[in-house]
Structure 1
């Protein structure tokens, strides 16, 4: 772990003040988010471009809140939640356990599909398992510096790939500008919420404070650099996702081409790019698809494992800085194992319906949970007065909470109605 007394100075390279933000953004933008944005572009052209930007702003507000709490108090976000009552344990505990099992399988399936599309001499399942084991090996020791460097390379690869793909489509600048005006096409409300809500992560947003700690940013003196880091990260994320929307609008919407959902949609899109611009473009896009999938996998393997270690140690009454609650500790490693090995069975045996249902229900509630609890925590004496929310931040958090509650209600209705 980084020395907690380290801090960026004028003598250090400028890129050293950017890191945890790129990590949280790279982890949060996976294939599912890309395909949701691409499908929105294919259906509505540039009409939902404003929703992409709104989504980035909402995530900046949420991540800044989590980071501000951690720097202002020296506590972890779970310690903040715990201060609200034991009910937070009863929600978060089952959620992180079920989420990890189902996400582990989904992440390995996504990386496996990307690698299979590039190198079809092994099956999707085998490639996925190898990816999971590679992620385990990379983060097992808890070394943040190595982890951050790998994620940064993947961000660059993702960004360059999608920007090149968008540039190849020769986007119409005039139509792009019209998409900045907030409008909701008929029947597009759920697409609006999905695009806005899917820009840049869910549970991994809460991991930001843990990555700040691993970086060595642990006191209020890092508040300014944290905000700069967060802003740059979501600027990059916004450009990346806008490029994805452009690909959907120019390549699919104009030609009336439909693609599949989920990870398969990314492979379908690579095929369309290959037909239009040649094999090289198809392979380059698949490489970017792999980088997006693998960055999410590696980020979760590290960040959510840090959250689980903190949760498990805290509920057992272990001190804040106990080794079991830190990177490289036994709970951290146990959760990495949980993410990697048990889900391998789902790669071959299929997904248990009720576990997937519980995953969807608990997961749909997380973003409203985060927005509402940040409103609660950051407006009380749990935070020093100078670092509490300002009126504009409160307004933005209320908007976030309402938007994510609407998305949660739709998700719950969709999943539960499927049972009857």
Structure 2
């Protein structure tokens, strides 16, 4: 039987995956890796480094809590897909037309600004490694190359490339963390929840920021693209999700160790934004030499380009489903999403218009709109998941229990606090 994946490609290459195999389940892990690699970008690395550089190991516990929260959010998104046979966009539409207005405006503004941000982040390590071209040229090349790859490759190839990239990220960052010789006693102490003076917002940001973006809503689409479409795959999905965020947790802890050992003890401050990673590159070169420094830049590049690829694929799927669902009024079918004009338009929207921002920067009003809409997305996701997963839309056996509701409730409360803080910052 031909396999129709979530993105709509009919493939005779893969068998019908209507039920999971009894053996080799670990070999099936993939969509969670894709979601985790996409969610952890250069900005998250800098945020974690700064937390380590300012507070040492004191906020290590917050990184661990953050991964647990992300497991609950991603699991809820994929569980809705598998339990109902529909998508998150179907679920949001069932809650009322207000979701269309919010999500439609958000995904357009977010894509325009994020496209420039992601391309710039990917260009930074490339320009440092190969200074033969200016930063803006590397940014354009990165965006065009990733858009071309996503447009002409199926999910299997996309997942394999993402696995390679997260492998590079993981080995390099964990390797550097081992080289700086972590203080194990201080690290264990850091697992005890404490909030040092002046660290409240950093704590909340560390819990809520790492690996948490709009791509968490894309996880269900990647699960379906893998061939997992029925509740029979629920166990595999949960294994996939937990492994991915445990890997993310180790990765985040490694970055915090690097910040604590190399920056906190030496009282070295980083630049804000993605350029902070270039500051760390210089510190690494002074301590370990140019080889380790260049290797770190390769890891920096892998982190940034994996985010571009994941967003270019996952959020384009979300937009294509948004057009199918909210504009054309179609539900249920997800066939052909990767081949639709809407998917290709959003690839274009992420890549070409943002190149204007590479030259002129981000206009103030656009920054305000982007920040406000973005601040509301994670509370929107957490609260709507609680609503959907406790409703009659989901078969009773797959509705949320006390643990899922508790974690999603904590996530919602956390993101509401972060949202209020972001809005206050924008107004100020």
Whole-Å separation in 1 of the counterparts to 2:405 and 2:25: 32
> 1:142–1:302: 8 Å Cα contact kept in structure 2?
no
Measured at CA, do residues 327 and 142 of structure 1 come closer, stay the same or move farther in structure 2, by a change above 3 Å?
farther
User: Aligned residue for 1:251?
Assistant: 262
In 2, Cα distance between equivalents of 1:230 and 1:214? 15
Alignment partners' CA distance in 2, 1:295 and 1:224:
26
- Paired with 2:370 and 2:75, the residues of 1 have a C-alpha distance of 26
Instruction: Flag the 1:212–1:322 CA change in 2: closer, same or farther, 3 A.
Output: closer
Cα deviation code 1:122-178 (max 9, x no counterpart): 111100110101111111035100100110000000001101110111001000000
Q: CA deviation at 1:349?
A: 1.7
Residue 295 of structure 2: aligned partner: 284
Contact 1:55–1:199 under 8 Å retained in 2:
yes
Q: Select which of 119, 139, 153 maps to 1:108.
A: 119
How many Å apart are 1:309 and its aligned residue? 0.1
Is this contact kept in 2: 1:142–1:328, CA < 8 A? Answer: no
Tell me how far apart the structure 1 counterparts of residues 386 and 22 of structure 2 sit (CA, whole Å): 34
Q: CA deviation at 1:279?
A: 0.4
Separation in 1 of the partners of 2:247 and 2:207? 16
1:320 matched to which residue of 2? 332
- Cα drift, residue 16 of structure 1: 3.3
Which whole-Å CA distance do the structure 2 matches of 1:35 and 1:276 have between them?
A: 19
Partner of 1:214: 225
Q: Deviations over 1:72-103 (max 9, x none)?
A: 00110111111111111011000000000000
Alignment correspondent of 1:80: 91
**TM score, norm. by length of structure 1:** 0.97
Question: What is the match of residue 173 of structure 2?
Answer: 162
Q: Is the 8 A contact 2:80 2:86 kept in 1?
A: yes
**Displacement of 1:240 after TM fit?**
0.3
Q: TM-score, normalised by structure 2?
A: 0.95
RMSD, aligned α-carbons: 1.3
Q: Does the alignment pair 1:362 with 2:373?
A: yes
- The 5-angstrom pairing of residues 366-377 of structure 1 reads 366-377=377-388
Q: Does 1:330 align with 2:341?
A: yes
Please tell me whether residue 121 in structure 1 is matched to residue 138 in structure 2. Answer: no
Matched, 1:9 2:21: yes
Structure 1's unaligned 5+ residue stretches are: none
Per-residue CA deviation, residues 34-75 of structure 1 (Å, 9 max, x unaligned), is 000000000000000000000000000000000111000011
Checking the alignment, whether the CA contact within 8 Å between 1:361 and 1:412 is kept in structure 2 is yes
Task: Tell me which moved more, 219-228 or 77-86.
Answer: 77-86
Structure 2: runs of 5 or more not aligned: 1-8
Counterpart residue number, 1:396: 407
* 1:413 corresponds to: 424
1:36-185 superposed matches below 5 A: 36-141=47-152, 143-185=154-196
Shift of 1:322: 5.7
Compared CA separation, residues 231 and 124, structure 1 to 2 (3 A): same
Q: Is the 8 A contact 2:25 2:236 kept in 1?
A: no
- CA separation in 1, counterparts of 2:404 and 2:199? 27
> What does residue 21 of structure 1 align with?
32
